[in-house]
Amino acid sequence: MKEVACNLCGANDARVRFPSTLPVDQSPEAWLAYRCTNSGYGVHSTIVQCRRCGFIYTNPQLEETAILETYTAVEDPLYIEEREGRVLTFENHLIPLEQLTGPPKGRALLDVGAYVGVFVEIAARHGWEAWGVEPSRWAVEQARARGLRVIPGTTATAELPPAYFDVVTMWDVIEHLADPMAELRQVWELVKPGGLVVIHTMDIDSVTARLMGERWPFLMEMHIVYFSRQTLRTMVEKAGFEVVKAHTQGRYLRLGYLAGRLAALWPPVGRLVEWGVNRLQLQGKTVAVNTLDLFTMYAQKTAR
């Protein structure tokens, strides 16, 4: 673990926002805590807020190399079981994106942190030249088994063509990065002039997050940085992009999966909901969920 400066403004002047809740014997390298479907709500390292710019991040943090090694080892079969909800979510995410870009024919898209490639597959089906990049060896194998162009590694380590992509997407990825500013600058190199970066993440300044405080479920060990719309806008602009728009955006989940998440977050209530869902055999029913604390930002590459 190491002490880090604010990734947004570089200051070493932060106050504790949420004290660490990691068990003393917890191994921070355990990859189970880094699966997309991990339900370790409320278990996290010390979370601080920069007094200079308001950016919120964990401090201390694991070394970047250790974080990458952890994600390389991740396996997550439950994610595949939830494929139906992911498909509906990404189909919904693609609509406002294509409203900005126009017809996808002849356009290239890169999905950063593509995991098993669900969004890559959907984008390709819509007519995009769709690529993905993903550190998890297991996830890359799953994606390639479906014939998808998903490259192992990261934007820094994979051999990706510069200034090639019309769109780069980052769905629920940026909050996992120790150096999101460096990642956005790397993405800037990959996007064509006038191209878009699309970032979906949690909003720690949302009404939901403010009301729930330390019980906000997105306070988790695998989340390293926590953006508000303002801090993400500031970082995106520093990286050489101009924000086009931002909006709240939810997701689709199977009721069985949602009940399991509730049981992990609020055991008494969640277990009752889980029992009811199982009793009525509604585990496979997919529902739209929007807790108003997730948002998507679209930004256009400009000259530096």
pLDDT band at 33 (very low <50, low <70, confident <90, very high): low
- Residue position matching structure tokens 């710019």: 53
Is 271 a domain residue?
yes
Q: Where are the alpha helices (DSSP H) in 131-228?
A: 137-145, 180-190, 207-212
Residue 31 has pLDDT above 60, yes or no: no
pLDDT at 27: 55
Residue 132 has pLDDT above 90, yes or no: yes
Residues contacting 241, CB < 8 A, separation 6+: 184, 188, 197, 299, 300, 301, 302
Is 224 a domain residue?
yes
Residues 59 and 225: their CA atoms lie apart, in Å, by 10
**295 or 84: which leads in pLDDT:** 295
Residues contacting 112, CB < 8 A, separation 6+: 132, 133, 154, 155, 168, 169, 170, 173, 183, 187
Is 207 a domain residue?
yes
In the predicted model, what is the mean pLDDT of residues 180-209?
Answer: 98
What pLDDT digit, counting tens, does each position of 60-84 carry? 998 989 889 989 999 988 888 878 8
Is 192 a domain residue?
yes
Residues 172 and 176: their CA atoms lie apart, in Å, by 8
- Backbone φ and ψ for 240, nearest 5 degrees, come out as 105, 20
Is 260 a domain residue?
yes
- State if pTM tops 0.95: no
Q: How many domains does the chain have?
A: 1
CATH number at residue 90: 3.40.50.150
Residue among 53, 26, 31, 55 at smallest CA distance from 42: 26
What pLDDT digit, counting tens, does each position of 220-243 carry? 999 999 999 999 999 999 999 999
Is 3 a domain residue?
no
Is 170 a domain residue?
yes
Question: Which residues form the domain of 56?
Answer: 14-301
In the predicted model, what is the mean pLDDT of residues 120-142?
Answer: 97
pLDDT at 30: 55
Mean model confidence pLDDT for the chain:
91
Residue 29 has pLDDT above 50, yes or no: no
Is 92 a domain residue?
yes
